[in-house]
Amino acid sequence: MNIQVEQPCPQCGGSVTLSVEDRLLTCPYCKVKSFLQVAGAFRYALPNRVTPDKQDRMLYVPYLRFKGNIFTVSEFGISYKVLDTTQDGCPHPGLPPSLGLRPQVMKLTRIHRQTRGRFLPLAVNIQHILKKAAMIQSLSRKEHAALYHRAYIGETLSYIYLPLFPREDRVFDAVLGKPLVNADAAALEALHSIQFNPSWQMKFLATLCPRCGWNLDGEGDCLVLTCSNCNTAWRIGKNGLRQTACTVFLGPPETALYLPFWRLNVHLAAVEIQSFADFIRRTNQPLVPRKAWEKQTMQFWIPAFKLRPKIFLRTAKQATVSQWRLTQEQQEKEMQVLPNMYPVTLPLSEAKQSLKVVLAESATNKRKIYPYLPALQPQVLSSSLVFLPFKDRQHDWVQIPGGTVIPKSVLYFGRSL
């Protein structure tokens, strides 16, 4: 779903239309860039028709929107789906079970401290909603297949509120201006509701480099900003911008694009993988482990950008298995801001969630890996952001020298996931 939201610029007040996936606001009027930060999920509301003098009586009903990839590892293999669904977060007789197409055809407004009215709290567990969404999509081909692992990767969770207006003995949908036929106004108003919680308030962070004060660069959906003055990378943290360890493998002159990957140094005790050689043996890769690999800490190379599930798994597996070619044939350099760097759109937390799925994808013998997944707790020793060079081969981007191939069309459509 292509959902848009109206957002006033914090600097000049100009109205800016953003995608709900955007985390960087660039005002077309004053040109000021601001990074959007909130504790927890972003919260939006459908536009209502209620006059300002009556909005204190508004009642907002929460619907939870999930957008992302769901991966399931069962005895029959790995299943995956791209899922974009909205489900009611406060079930009550007479209320719509979903918002239908309205979030797609209307510009949402952001909930903020000036929003008048009261809010019904979430009455269902978020994990229950996610599991329900996964079951709706029938991820497992076999109904009674043994489930080893399920992961939600590249997910976006947000609240979309439906505004209601109780009047006399009826409840009106404040978006359409029509009554809800089966809704009980007295029962609905008797439900516990709360005022705006200050922790929901979105904050704007100035996109100035904390080290040198230079303007940071990035696109609307990027999660890591770069400074071309002091060659540093910064991602959003709980207390503001936080520097991220970042390096680049400089490619040959024909390099057309640099794609970001999260490099995770990991120990997997349950499957006895500590070194890269352990990984090659345990997953039965068609490679003979070299002596140097015995001392090389196991590294997973996870795409730091969104891709369709099948390509995401294939790319992560190829980059992880072929990592030895990088250290052998290219030299790693300190962070340099280059003009052809692709934006980071997948956060580090999501990359960590994908480790067990990528391990399962890499295993040629399922019985050696799958049964251990439920108890497996990957120990991430360290992480860093690495940009790898890719050359242009007509319809594909081909990594140099690892050989990882990503179709151009898939990379393009990944921006809308």
Question: Crossing angle of helices 355-362/309-321, nearest 10°?
Answer: 70
The CA-based dihedral angle spanning residues 136, 350, 196, 94, taken in that order and rounded to the nearest 10 degrees: 0
Q: Is residue 396 within 8 Å of residue 354, measured between CB atoms?
A: no
Q: Is residue 183 within 8 Å of residue 168, measured between CB atoms?
A: no
Those residues with Cβ within 8 angstroms of residue 158's Cβ, 6 or more apart along the chain or in another chain: 20, 41, 42, 43, 44, 64, 65
What would you measure as the largest C-alpha separation in the chain, in angstroms? 80
In terms of DSSP H, where are the helices of 20-112? 102-105
Neighbours of 13 (CB within 10 A): 10
Q: What percent of the chain has pLDDT over 70?
A: 94
Q: Is 395 left (phi over 0), alpha (psi -120 to 50) or beta?
A: alpha
pLDDT band per the 50, 70, 90 thresholds, residue 417 = low
Cis peptide preceding 401, ω within 30 of 0: yes
Tens-digit pLDDT profile for residues 156-213: 889 999 999 988 788 899 998 888 888 877 878 778 889 999 999 998 988 999 999 9
Neighbours of 331 (CB within 10 A): 8
Q: How far is CA 234 from CA 43, 176, 243, 384, in A?
A: 25, 43, 4, 12
Global confidence as pTM: 0.89
Domain regions of the chain by residue span = 38-203, 245-416
Tens-digit pLDDT profile for residues 402-413: 788 899 888 877
Q: Is residue 225 within 8 Å of residue 260, measured between CB atoms?
A: no
Q: What is the pLDDT of residue 140?
A: 45
**SS3 state at 230:** coil
Neighbours of 182 (CB within 10 A): 9
Tens-digit pLDDT profile for residues 102-141: 888 899 999 999 999 999 988 887 777 777 666 655 544 4
Q: What is the pLDDT of residue 227?
A: 93
Neighbours of 130 (CB within 10 A): 21
Cα 288 from chain centre = 36
Cα–Cα dist 320/314, whole Å: 10
Cα–Cα dist 378/375, whole Å: 10
Length of the chain: 417
